[in-house]
Amino acid sequence: MKNILVTGGCGFIGRHVTEELLEHGFNVRILDAMIDQVHGDAEVEVPDAAEVVRGDIRDKAVVERALEAVDGVIHLAAEVGVGQSMYEIARYVGGNDLGTAVLLEAMIDRPVRRIVVASSMSVYGEGRYRSKTGDQIGLIRRRADNIRTGQWNLVGPDGEALIPVATDEEKPVDLASIYALTKYAQEKQVLIFGEAYGVDAVALRLFNVFGAGQALSNPYTGVLANFASRLANNQPPMIFEDGQQRRDFVHVRDVARAFRLAVEKPNLNGHTINIGSGQSYTIAEVAALLAAAMGVPEIGPEIMGKARAGDIRNCFADISKARELLGFEPQQRLETSLGPFAQWVRAAGAIDRGGEMRRHLEERGLVS
């Protein structure tokens, strides 16, 4: 495969994927709608060697044109964000699920050999847990009445504390938000299509992606970008709950390499694969690390003591399968990557819309 279509290729992850592919000898065409929330008024810089087709993934004629002479697809185009998905439901279902359906229909009569779709760690809901005696816990959710009283951590049936552990791909999905629902639908559509039409189909479940190029003025783009926008405007990062929830942060360059490997490697058909760093951090810890990197360690986070609908407590990646099937090994650690990220934030500038996001959620009763 040498001719690759990257949907959403002008976005944060898409630009890095495009650069990675070009550096390794692929020809790249991009399909992107260039929506304002992601790109704003800024001129998007993509490599001159990439061809850009501007259009909506739901426009079949545009998609058919973008697929001409393509033998591989990396499908990144999607509406992103848990919080916003809970009140702009039609937008998320339309962009993510209908958009994927249009793409797959257009592929039926075209000789595409492989499609790699960007899925999300959000499909897991809560990550893996074990008891203090070492027993693995099955599907488990927090109770709404416990959350309302500030009992953030999960407990077993007898009230015993549970221990979060790395989440592997065998953990059953548990969809806790509209965003998670749409990402799982994207993933399953692609895998079902691949089996039916003899197209290699692979889903990469991405954990929290960070790095230069994030949409800093989009409050739904990711926790590190949100924190950076607040700190750049001398405002404290807003942290829901108590800040002790744990996540996995993976650098966008590592993610781009994972997509390139998923195009190149054999014997991947039908697989879903976690792409993370294999490390976990508390959200409060991340806020402190970023404040120090940005030179404002005195700006501590605002711990809100409230939960956001659709959020989970802990989820971080077991990347054993990515190592085995892709030969993937993260090269960027959060601790050593925040300095360059902070430099980019200062140079790029950021409009802080965190308060706007909070207001939208609170007005709809999605924060409690």
Write out the catalytic residue numbers.
Answer: 179
- In contact, 145 and 153? CB cutoff 8 Å: no
Those residues with Cβ within 8 angstroms of residue 219's Cβ, 6 or more apart along the chain or in another chain: 226, 229, 353, 354, 356, 357
Residues making up the chain, counted from first to last: 368
- In contact, 317 and 121? CB cutoff 8 Å: yes
Those residues with Cβ within 8 angstroms of residue 303's Cβ, 6 or more apart along the chain or in another chain: 239, 242, 243, 284
Distances (CA, A) of 246 to 15, 166, 167, 271, 315: 28, 11, 12, 26, 6
Q: Locate tokens 């189909």: which residue?
A: 201
Q: Locate tokens 């054999």: which residue?
A: 266
Q: What is the dihedral of CA 275, 277, 282, 284, to 10 degrees?
A: -100
Cβ atoms within 10 Å of 133's Cβ, excluding its own: 6
**Tokens at 337, concatenated:** 């990557």
The values of phi and psi at residue 51, to 5°, are -90, 135
CA 192 centroid distance within chain: 22
